[in-house]
Amino acid sequence: MDFINIFIKSAFIDNMVLAYFLGMCSYLAVSKSVKTAFGLGLAVIFVLGITMPINWIINEYLLGETGIFKMDLTFLRFILFIAVIASMVQLVEMVIEKFSPGLYAALGIFLPLITVNCAILGGSLFMVSREYNFSESVAFGLGGGFGWFLAIIAIAAIREKIRYSNVPPALRGLGMAFILTGLMGIAFMSLMGIDPAALTGAK
């Protein structure tokens, strides 16, 4: 499988939010307006794109039996992965604060919250269980982040519109967001039959 295949597959067919329900907390909490959803989506793409290759290197060269320590250290995987993610998010936060104070102010609390966004750790764990190589894991990181970005923009746009509709009071807000996500998940399933290899092969 090549770069583009994995990118398309992880962005559309195996969408992080709509097929695996990863990153649901921030997806539901931050999707009230398109503007903040956009900023958070970009930050997620960025963090996923960085942490995935770093975690790949750690998993391959530190934890495996063929790694530097010549023993099976896979039980340390969770702790190391989450430490990488936490420090990367911290780093991204400092860089954004220095170079773009406007974006920093707009993202606010959501930036540190990316640490506990399951899509990030989930991406790294999927990468291990699917045995991707280095370039595939880069593609998976970027594609997965892009898919997450698309999903949060879509739900934020729908939620902005639905505010003017006559939803039953008990279903307003959260309940409706859940049902909408379910419908979007079904819509995205129609992409499942697509074979990305055939698409890129035809080029």
> In the set 120, 142, 150, 154, which binds another protein (CB under 8 A)?
120
**Among all chains, which residue has been given the structure tokens 């996923």?**
48
3-state secondary structure of 49: helix
3-state secondary structure of 43: helix
Choose the stretch contacting another protein; rule: CB under 8 A; options: 37-45, 94-102, 119-127, 133-141.
Answer: 119-127
| Whether the Cβ atoms of residue 144 and residue 10 lie closer than 8 Å to each other | yes
Q: Which residue number, 74 or 100, has a Cβ lying nearer to another protein?
A: 74
Q: Does 112 bind another protein (CB under 8 A)?
A: yes
**Among all chains, which residue has been given the structure tokens 């039996």?**
65
Give the count of beta carbons closer than 10 Å to the beta carbon of residue 182: 11
DSSP-assigned letters across all residues of 86-108: HHHHHHHHHHHHHH-HHHHHHHT
> In the set 43, 121, 138, 152, which binds another protein (CB under 8 A)?
121
User: Nearest approach, Cβ of 203 to another protein (angstroms)?
Assistant: 31
Q: Supply φ then ψ for residue 181, to 5 degrees.
A: -60, -40
User: Nearest approach, Cβ of 172 to another protein (angstroms)?
Assistant: 5
Contacts of residue 132, Cβ cutoff 8 Å, sequence gap at least 6? 6, 56, 140
Q: Which string of x and - marks every residue 12-51 that binds another protein (by CB under 8 A)?
A: ------xxxxxxxx--xx----------------------
Positions in 136-195 near another protein (CB under 8 A): 168-176, 178-179, 181-183, 185-186, 189
Q: How many residues bind another protein (CB under 8 A)?
A: 46
Cα 97 from chain centroid? 22
| Whether the Cβ atoms of residue 48 and residue 119 lie closer than 8 Å to each other | yes
Q: Which residue number, 103 or 125, has a Cβ lying nearer to another protein?
A: 125
3-state secondary structure of 192: coil
> In the set 34, 82, 106, 162, which binds another protein (CB under 8 A)?
82
Q: Which residue number, 115 or 200, has a Cβ lying nearer to another protein?
A: 115
By CB under 8 A, name the binding residues for another protein. 18-25, 28-29, 75, 77-79, 82-83, 86, 112, 115-122, 125-126, 129, 168-176, 178-179, 181-183, 185-186, 189
